[in-house]
Homo-oligomer: A and B are copies of this chain.
Amino acid sequence: MSTPPSSDKDTQRRRAKPPGVGNPPVETAAAILEAAEQLFIDKGYAGTSVRAIATKAGVNLASAHYHFGSKAGLLGAVIHLRVAPANEERERRLDALERETPNPSVEQILEVFFSTLALDGVAATLPRLIARLYGEPESVSQPLIEREFGAVSRRFLAALGAAMPDVDAEVLAWRFYFMIGAMIHMLAFEGPHTMDPAERRSEDSLRRLLEFAVAGITNGVPRAPEEK
């Protein structure tokens, strides 16, 4: 059952092993991560079995525990693999914006925040992965969310606060938090028209989301005061 037939029938499985040639260890771990990511997205964490991951990756069942310790550890690794680079890029772009523009507008800040959703390498999976993470019970999701998003959220919240000095910090935090909800929702579920996952990250969708978010965050007063 667990020995795949000699004919590797599709691209889903890891390369068929030439007899006697071992695979570099990194490949097994990478294959597990990739398969786990896809399945977590499609079925959720509780709905995905380690066996299904191992089968999809074309590796032995025990390899998942060997490399990642446990199913929960595997989830953490999958999340971190995708989220960390995207967040680093987010911060890098915000740094650049603040360097080039003395008083960046809310729209500019949010554009940076959303732009990473369309990054190559993360765009194909990250958004839905995040959305799924938020859908898990809080005991699973909360520690990971804080670990992965805590710092970057505070960073952007501070930048928005600087762009809107008249808005109370707590009020702003609420609006930011609603905005996150709108984003997660767009990434996770079908829009008003049926969309395939690629469509969900299209320029068009992101532009609409940006427009909505700017209006909500500024409460319909999009222009930052020219001078304070």
A residues near B (Cβ < 8 Å) are 42-44, 46-47, 132, 134-138, 142, 170-171, 173-186, 188-193, 205, 208-209, 211-216, 218-222
With both chains docked as a complex, state the minimum distance between the C-beta of A36 and any C-beta of chain B, in angstroms: 15
CB-CB < 8 A to A184: which residues of B?
Answer: 181, 185
User: Quick check: B216 and A218 within 8 Å, CB to CB?
Assistant: no
User: Quick check: A192 and B212 within 8 Å, CB to CB?
Assistant: no
Copy number in this complex?
2
Partner of A188, one of B46, B132, B134, B190: B134
Can you report 14 A-B residue pairs in the complex whose CB atoms are below 8 A from each other?
A44-B136, A46-B47, A135-B135, A176-B192, A177-B185, A178-B209, A181-B181, A181-B189, A214-B220, A215-B218, A215-B219, A215-B220, A219-B220, A220-B220
Given contacts A185-B177, A191-B177, contact A213 B216 (CB under 8 A): yes
A205 to B183, CA, bound (A): 19
- The main secondary structure of chain A at its interface with chain B is helix
User: Quick check: A43 and B185 within 8 Å, CB to CB?
Assistant: no
A104 to B42, CA, bound (A): 41
With both chains docked as a complex, state the minimum distance between the C-beta of A159 and any C-beta of chain B, in angstroms: 15
Cβ-closest chain B residue relative to A207: B174
Cβ-closest chain B residue relative to A208: B174
CB-CB < 8 A to A208: which residues of B?
Answer: 171, 174-175, 178
CB-CB < 8 A to A209: which residues of B?
Answer: 178
User: Quick check: B175 and A212 within 8 Å, CB to CB?
Assistant: yes
